[in-house]
A and B are shown apart, each in its own frame.
Chain A
C-alpha cells in the first residue's frame, strides 16, 4: 500500500517556468509534510515543510500548497533555474513514536536553460 502518491514522475520546464509537483496521502494521522531535494549521488536534503493547520507556506522560490480536505499537497518552484534540476520527493510523517518519513516515488525535474 503506497501511502503517499506523487506525480508526475518526470517534468521538463524552461528556465523561469513554474514546475508544480503534486502529492496525495491516505493516512489522516499524518501531520507533517516535507519536501526533499536529491541530487545524483547525494542524500535527500530538506527544502520546505508544512503542517496541516496552514494552507500555504513560502520559502524563497519554493511554495507548498496544502489541501487538508482533499488530502493533497503540492510544491511550486517559482522562477526555476537549471540548478534546480534534481529529483524531488514529498513525504509525510506523524508526530510521536519514530516520526519516520513515508516518501513518494519522486519527480525528476529538468530545467532547461
Chain B
C-alpha cells in the first residue's frame, strides 16, 4: 500500500450519463476527502468521511453527486446526469485523524480521475 489509488484515471462520458469513480485510501487513514480541480484552479473541497460517516458536504456537491464509503475503506463518488460543467479532475485524499496537529503529516492525494463530459 504505497499511496492513494484512484480509478479510472480518465473518463469520457456523454452529457446525461452517470459516472462513478473509486478511491482506495491509505489503509490506516481514517479520513477520506474528495476535491474537484478545474483547469487553472486550485482544488475545491467537496466532501469528507471519517471512517464510514460522511460528516461534511460542500455546497458544490449538488444533489446529482453522491459519495459513499460503506465499510470505512474505499470510497465511491457518483455523478448522475452529467453536465459539461462537471468536467474536471476529481481528487481523492486521505489522512489520519487530527492530521493538522502534525505539521508535515498533511493529506496524501491520489493522482485523480479526469472527467470529460462531451
Interface positions of A (Cβ within 8 A of B): 4, 6, 31-32, 34, 41-46, 48-51, 89, 91, 93-95, 97-106
B103–A44 contact, CB under 8 A? no
Listed residue (B56, B104, B111) with the most chain A CB atoms within 10 angstroms of its CB = B104
Residue of A nearest to B92 (CB): A43
* Known A97-B56, A98-B56, A100-B56: A46·B107 in contact at CB below 8 Å: yes
Interface positions of B (Cβ within 8 A of A): 4, 31, 33, 40-45, 48, 55-56, 91, 93, 95, 98-101, 103-104, 106-107, 109-112
Cα–Cα distance between A97 and B98 once the two chains are bound (Å) = 9
Other-chain residue from B33, B42, B48 in contact with A105 (beta carbon distance below 8 A): B42
Chain B residues whose CB sits within 8 angstroms of the CB of A50 once the complex forms: 103
B42–A89 contact, CB under 8 A? yes
Chain B residues whose CB sits within 8 angstroms of the CB of A42 once the complex forms: 111-112
A106–B55 contact, CB under 8 A? no
Chain A residues whose CB sits within 8 angstroms of the CB of B110 once the complex forms: 43
B99–A102 contact, CB under 8 A? no
